[in-house]
Amino acid sequence: MMSRCLLPFLFLSCLIPFSAYADIKADVVVVDKSKTRLYLIKDKKVFKSFRISLGANPRGHKQQEGDQRTPEGRYMLDYKKPDSAFYKAIHISYPNEDDIKRAAELGVDPGGQIMIHGQKNSFSKVSFTRQSRTWTDGCIAVTNSAMDEIWDAVDPGTPVVIKP
């Protein structure tokens, strides 16, 4: 039988791995659209991974406003928006110069307001069901609890790489 004074120690030691990530800031965020995963990376090592939802037309690079695609390439997480229509949002610096040039050549609006965000405020209680489908207009959606972790792990200026 285990000693009573050992039980609190074992309990606290189980908590250490979970809380150890609380203060880690990501060097880069990687989104893998084909795997529907978002990875927080520090010193070239993944320290946290989350399931994501994308738009209804997730394959391919975003070409224009309304195509329901998520852009692909290198961008920055340039600002946080706590008062979003979604549970917290972090803006991705799309469109970049190449995106604007490509859209101009096609004669279309490249769109914008691409974000990593939590659930729509009116749907927060059913986030587990929405997370299993494609439902955004080109953003990257996560559960609200995942958004809390991502929010704490990234600062404005963190690079984000979005892979096909």
| 80-102 per-position pLDDT tens digit | 999 989 999 999 999 999 999 99
Model pLDDT, residue 22: 63
Model pLDDT, residue 57: 86
Model pLDDT, residue 130: 47
| Residues of the chain below pLDDT 50 | 2, 6-7, 9-10, 12-13, 16, 18-19, 127-132
Model pLDDT, residue 100: 96
Residue 157 lies in a domain: yes
Residue 88 lies in a domain: yes
| Residue 51: CATH number of its domain | 2.40.440.10
135 vs 148: CA distance, rounded Å: 20
The number of domains in the chain is 1
Beta carbons within 8 Å of 27's beta carbon, 6+ residues apart: 41, 42, 43, 44, 158, 159
Residue 13 lies in a domain: no
15 vs 22: CA distance, rounded Å: 12
Domain extent, residue 118, equals 26-163
